[in-house]
Structure 1
């Protein structure tokens, strides 16, 4: 696909991206910034897009990763500003290594829980998580839209049950939305 036609195709998805960004940020200005960053990255890295694949899914992935990276940067800045006491290097080292290990276990548990889902629940749930709309999932899987909604709901409930230990520990899960 030529660069110009890809840019035009990317811009056609701007409205969908704005709606998706608003779900992440809950703020119109932040959502617009996220869309702009996403479009810039998509145009800059257009050579990584494989023609014939789902352009909207590719853009949603860029947006999700951009949001996560910006959130992490913001969390670090906020933590630096809010810290009023000086920490020595051994405390910092212990804190950083504890977070990495804990995050590793959390991710392992999430992947394990996803792996245990029945395919009938897992496939629609993952497609929805990737940014597909209900009707797109229904069309692709050739099942009624009501079935798609039910399966996604059931997958959420199963995952909530399997990962409830993290919500009790002060973790916020994306599944509780």
Structure 2
């Protein structure tokens, strides 16, 4: 199957995929986002599709895995916050302005730390952070899966070392 006919076939499943995505997300906007991400991945990895196999099942698998990966990455970043006291608008304004300044510095430090990583560590780490699995990264970069794991581990170690000041700060705040 040539790439144009494969792309046409992939697009023909758009409605069925949207309905499938809606069952996961229960929200039309989120379903559209999931559908778009699925279509992009399908087109990006079209070379991995084996002609003669079930295209619809392949697309459904990509959609399901994308949802699961997004859910995992979001669950790492979300937390429940309980407020047991009433805060005045002045306290909130002061807190928000402090947080903006801190976040700006932290974001800059993170970008600097990421930029200082060797490219061989940075690329796999960023892919992993985006929600890709080890084997997907290995296929994309055409390197062994063990090498991917090692490079992500080394990137984490270097980032922990360079961003240690934030770790100590947050430990003190949560104590």
TM range (shorter): 0.5 to 0.7
TM-score of the superposition, structure 1-length normalised?
A: 0.62
For each residue in 1:58-90, what CA deviation from the matched residue of structure 2 results, as whole angstroms up to 9, or x when unmatched? Answer: 646854786589x37x42xx12xx11xx54433
- The corresponding residue for 1:168 is 168
| Residue in structure 1 matched with residue 17 of structure 2 by the alignment | 6
Aligned length: 141
Larger radius of gyration: 2
2:112 corresponding residue in structure 1: 112
Q: CA deviation at 1:99?
A: 1.1
Taking the aligned partners of 1:38 and 1:123, their CA distance within structure 2 comes to 33
Bigger mean CA offset, 101-110 vs 40-49: 40-49
Q: Give the direction of change, closer, same or farther, for the CA distance of 1:114–1:6 in structure 2 (3 Å limit).
A: same
Map 1:88-107 onto structure 2 (within 5 A).
88-107=88-107
Using the TM superposition, name which of 46-55 and 133-142 deviates more: 46-55
Instruction: Report the equivalent of 1:21.
Output: none
- Structure 2 equivalent of residue 31 of structure 1: none
2:31 aligned with 1:43 = yes
Gaps of 5+ in 2: 1-10, 46-61
Q: Which residue of 2 aligns with 1:139?
A: 139
Distance verdict in 2 for CA 1:132–1:38, change over 3 Å = farther
C-alpha RMSD of matched pairs (Å) = 3.5
Q: In the superposition, relative to structure 1, how do residues 39 and 140 fare at CA in structure 2: closer, same or farther (>3 Å)?
A: farther
Contact 1:38–1:59 (8 Å) recurs in 2: no
- TM superposition shift of 1:91: 2.5
TM-score (norm 2): 0.63
Cα offset for 1:116?
1.1
Which SS does the other structure have where 1:43 is aligned? Answer: helix
* Contact 1:124 1:148 (C-alpha < 8 Å) held by counterparts: yes
**Does the 8 Å CA contact 1:125/1:152 hold for their aligned counterparts?**
yes
1:26-52 per-residue CA deviation (whole Å, 9 max, x = no partner) reads xxxxxxxxx943775442446755542
